[in-house]
Structure 1
Amino acid sequence: MEDEVFRKAFINNIWFAIGTIPTSVALGMVLAILVNRKIKGSALARTFFFYPVVIPMVSAAFIWLFFYTPEYGMINKLLTLFGAGELNLLGNSSTVLIAIIVMVIWKEAGFFMIFYLAALQNIPKDLIEASHIDGASKWIQFRKIVFPLLMPTTIFSFVIATTNAFKTIDQLVVMTQGGPNNASNLLLYYIYESTFRFMDYGKAAAATIVVLVIMVVIAAIQFFGTDRKIHYS
């Protein structure tokens, strides 16, 4: 398409996906490993990490809008407290997409943590105990036993994260409206504006097809391209 706004939204969405997908999935795995340990406070930690998931997306967007607000926002209050200057993270075209990415990672990491936690608890303890007897370190146990058995969960999480990355809109409506200068405009918001603001149904339909094709191709690559690396217990 020759639409400059569409190209901008497409590129933004690619960077948004690169920033959110691997980070939120990896962080979810790390959190699951941490809270899976039988130590005091692990149940409270699970609740703390999972709590952002149950907050409605619009409410979460307003919370982070408060964090990012110049002068009165919590982030700028902390910066002022330490003698640093104020930042308008949502008003700067070079930082707005990063600010949205951070918010989405915070929202999604706990979601993937639950899947990884369930997968970790299904790993046969005999395998871990046998490797420990053989003198395997924690890192070797993770690399040779735990991670391969987590691969089905990882593939599933990547597919879900990819879908989420290309259907982000609530945060943009509340926080940026795609600005400034389309720096935070993503494909679904572009479709939304094309349909309901500009009444350009042709562009909206074409962009929708692009989004669907992207998600199908990525899902196919993730499923079939990594099939040989999946181990089932």
Structure 2
Amino acid sequence: MKELRKSNYWKENTTAWLFLLPSLIFLVMFTLYPMIKTLIMSFFQSDLSTEDPVYIGAQNFMMMWEDEVFRKAFINNLWFAAGTVPTSVFIGLGLAMLVNRAIKGSGLARTFFFYPVVIPMVTAAFIWLFFYTPEYGMINNMLKFFGAGELNLLGNSSTALMAIIVMVIWKEAGFFMVFYLAALQNIPKELLEASYMDGASKWVQFRKIVFPLLMPTTLFSFVIATTNAFKTVDQLVVMTQGGPNNASNLLLYYIYESTFRFMDYGKSATATVVCLILMVLIAAVQFFGSDRKIHYS
């Protein structure tokens, strides 16, 4: 009997691993191997001045912090994440609360709010480039109509990053709306009805019942939004190319330029490692800092 149980155990586990094997192969080939290769490359000098990669230890990391462009891109990315992550998530929550009501036209409103999500980032960048363009852009035409002066939002160092942030918020808010909408529809109506019978206002219901039950979705949304904030590059290629004077340069665009423009693979690998470590640290702080306050049931 014991041998039969052992045989069934190995048979079930072998079958499970065989089903998982194709996914594991792709995970190793396209995720784990590139990560390990990038980490190894970050300890080598590999650019146009070296025929073969030369091991230099941690010099790439030390030189990275001395690079003014990298420091600018690093700080810009932190501001970019601070501007896009909470705003996109909470606007998504607000939109979900709005369209969750059983009112006429709510289906059309959901489609309207979600539409920016399905637009490719490059297409969205061109749309907003039309809005921001001086002279004949939509924003400047509206300003001229009201007799105001002309603005060059993407050509001004003080407004370029903010203009990118606004576009990304418009693009991502509908994405988080879908998650919140699904979570709202799973909240038992009996809880809200009971609180209403006890005299709780809409705000008290939201603060004491709805929002605590939405915390798992909020944590998930914050982690996804943070990841998105550090892997954005398409709109920069279309709209600003990191300018003016690196005012809108971000880490991934810095990595892109180091790799494909300057052919400095050691520097780009080092910047990639720094970016990955930063993302993991932020996600860990979000997860472990909020996990105790979350109701999963």
Report if TM-score (shorter chain) is over 0.5: yes
Distance 2:160 2:286 in 1: 29
1:220 Cα deviation after fit: 1.0
SS of the equivalent of 1:90 reads coil
Corresponding residue for residue 148 of structure 2 = 84
1:23-57 CA-to-partner distances (Å, cap 9, x unmatched) read 00000000000000111111111111000000010
CA distance in 2 between counterparts of 1:89 and 1:224 reads: 38
Partners of 1:3 and 1:199 in 2: CA distance: 16
Task: Please say if 1:139 is aligned against 2:207.
Answer: no
SS of the equivalent of 1:226 reads: helix
The structural deviation recorded for 1:117 is: 0.2
Partner of 2:285: 221
Amino acid at match of 2:69: V
Match of 2:181 in 1: 117
The CA RMSD over aligned residues, in Å, is 0.6
Identity %: 85
Q: Does 1:149 align with 2:213?
A: yes
User: How many residues align structurally?
Assistant: 233
Aligned to 2:214, the other structure's residue is in SS state helix
1:194 equivalenced with 2:258 (yes/no): yes
**CA deviations over 1:170-225 (Å, ceiling 9, x no partner):** 00000000000000000000000000001111111111001100111111111111
- Uncovered stretches (5+) of structure 2, i.e. residues with no partner: 1-64
Give the letter aligned to residue 63 of structure 1. I
Q: Distance in 1 between matches of 2:289 and 2:133?
A: 43
Structure 1's unaligned 5+ residue stretches are none
The structural deviation recorded for 1:232 is 2.4
**TM-score, normalised relative to structure 1:** 0.99
Q: Distance in 2 between matches of 1:217 and 1:27?
A: 25
Q: 1: distance between equivalents of 2:189 and 2:274?
A: 45
TM-score, normalised via structure 2 length: 0.78
CA distance in 2, matches of 1:226, 1:38: 32
Which has the greater radius of gyration?
Answer: 2
- 1:36 is aligned, of 89, 100, 106, to 100
Q: Is 1:75–2:139 an aligned residue pair?
A: yes
**Residue among 276, 279, 285 paired with 1:212:** 276
Tell me how far apart the structure 2 counterparts of residues 72 and 210 of structure 1 sit (CA, whole Å): 40
Displaced runs of 4 or more, over 3 A: none
Aligned partner of 1:145: which letter?
A: I
| 1:232 match | 296
Aligned residue identity for 2:109: A
